[in-house]
């Protein structure tokens, strides 16, 4: 899944979220994943900032000397076959593994515990282009974050300045939904029923839809249903015309 964000100065950042097949997967599955990733990376504009993140199921080891422009001096553990695939991909696309460039405690680098050996390898990464290395302040695992998963949450602090959304001149933004109506049982029941019915219709009609398509459909169903059932909340601060409507009419 990918997302393109507008930054200040008319620059863009492309963010790619990926999940790689584990070691137990077939070679064909791994090859397909990296083929698809190659295509996606090649399609990114050369002037964009690029961030790749996710569970890449790869152990890249600590051989900084062999992979100086990809692997930092603070890797973890040994390298496996999946790690070599990831390192070669990074080298080809001028990416570096930000997790390995910061001197941290082991618990702030390891992201998953092997249930059999009870060891903690590094499997989840944040990758950026070499030229953007200085934008990354730190990438580390959060030990106590509960994400309903056996992986630790990984955070990466970066110097990125998003372009603020500009409202077209002369247009007032749409008002907020009147969510107070959800406190009324009748409205709450109606809203819940309509959402359920529309989502069931979507599930039947779009069995082969992509993740992005399903997300857009879900978003539209919730927004349109909420607007139908709840409507817009009345603005607390009326403009001059609304405040003086009665006098003008007379």
What are the sequence ranges of the domains in the chain? 2-158, 179-242
In whole angstroms, what is the distance from residue 16 CA to residue 209 CA? 19
Instruction: Give the pLDDT band of residue 248 (cuts 50, 70, 90).
Output: very low
pLDDT at 166: 67
Looking at residues 150-165, what average pLDDT do you find?
Answer: 83
| Residues 17, 18, 22: CA angle, nearest 5 degrees | 155
User: Domain 2-158 in CATH: superfamily?
Assistant: Endonuclease/exonuclease/phosphatase (3.60.10.10)
Among residues 118, 114, 106, the alpha carbon closest in space to that of 75 is found at 106
Question: What pLDDT does residue 149 have?
Answer: 73
E-strand ranges in the chain read 2-6, 12-19, 49-55, 60-61, 76-79, 95-97, 124-129, 136-142, 153-158
Angle formed by the axes of helices 27-42 and 81-92, nearest 10°: 20
Q: What confidence category does residue 239 fall into, taking pLDDT thresholds of 50, 70 and 90? A: low
Q: What is the pLDDT of residue 50?
A: 94
Integer Cα distance of 71 and 100 in angstroms? 6
Average pLDDT, the chain: 85
DSSP H or E segment with residue 189: helix 185-205
12 burial (CB, 10 Å; 0-12 / 13-18 / 19+) is middle
Burial status of residue 51 (CB atoms within 10 A of its CB: 0-12, 13-18, 19 or more): buried
Residue 44: pLDDT band (50, 70, 90) is very high
What is the C-alpha end-to-end distance of the chain, expressed in Å? 59
Q: Which of 132, 102, 114, 118 is nearest to 59 (CA)?
A: 114
Most confidently modeled range among 2-16, 17-31, 171-185: 17-31
Q: Residues in the chain, how many?
A: 250
Q: Decide: pTM greater than 0.85.
A: no
What is the H or E stretch that residue 17 is in? strand 12-19
Of 26-40, 192-206, 210-224, the range with the highest mean pLDDT is 26-40
Give me the pLDDT at residue 213, please. 82
Query: With bands split at pLDDT 50, 70 and 90, how would you rate the model's confidence at 35?
Result: very high
pLDDT at 6: 87
50-101, pLDDT tens digit by residue?
A: 999 999 999 999 999 999 999 999 999 899 999 999 999 999 999 999 999 9
Could you give the CA distance from residue 50 to residue 14 in angstroms, rounded to a whole number?
A: 5
| Max Cα–Cα distance, the chain, nearest Å | 85
In tens, the pLDDT along 178-210 reads 888 888 999 899 989 998 888 888 776 666 778
- Distance, in Å, from the CA atom of 129 to the CA atom of 70, rounded to the nearest integer, reads 9
Taking the C-alpha atoms of residue 157 and residue 171, their distance in angstroms, rounded to an integer, is 35
Give the span between the Cα atoms of 67 and 53, in whole angstroms.
19
CA distance 120 to 112: 6
């Amino acid at each position: 899944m990918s997302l393109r964000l507008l930054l200040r100065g008319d620059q863009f950042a492309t963010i790619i979220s990926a999940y790689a097949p584990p070691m137990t997967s077939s070679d064909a599955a791994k090859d397909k994943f990296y083929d698809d990733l190659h295509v996606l990376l090649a399609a990114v504009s050369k002037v964009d900032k690029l961030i790749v993140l996710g569970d890449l199921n790869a152990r890249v080891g600590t051989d900084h000397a062999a992979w100086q422009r990809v692997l930092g001096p603070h890797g973890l553990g040994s390298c496996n076959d999946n790690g070599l695939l990831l390192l070669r991909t990074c080298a080809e696309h001028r990416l570096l593994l930000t997790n390995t460039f910061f001197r941290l405690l082991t618990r702030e680098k390891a992201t998953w515990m092997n249930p059999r050996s009870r060891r903690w390898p590094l499997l989840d990464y944040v990758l950026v282009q070499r030229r953007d290395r200085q934008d990354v302040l730190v990438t580390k695992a959060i030990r106590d974050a509960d994400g309903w998963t056996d992986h630790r949450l990984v955070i990466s602090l970066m110097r990125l300045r998003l372009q603020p959304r500009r409202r077209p001149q002369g247009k007032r933004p749409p008002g907020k939904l009147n969510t107070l109506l959800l406190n009324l049982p009748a409205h709450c029941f109606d809203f819940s029923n309509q959402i359920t019915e529309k989502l069931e219709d979507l599930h039947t009609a779009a069995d082969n839809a992509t993740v992005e398509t399903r997300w857009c459909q879900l978003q539209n169903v919730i927004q349109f249903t909420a607007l139908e059932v709840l409507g817009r909340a009345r603005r607390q601060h009326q403009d001059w015309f609304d405040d003086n409507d009665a006098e003008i009419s007379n």
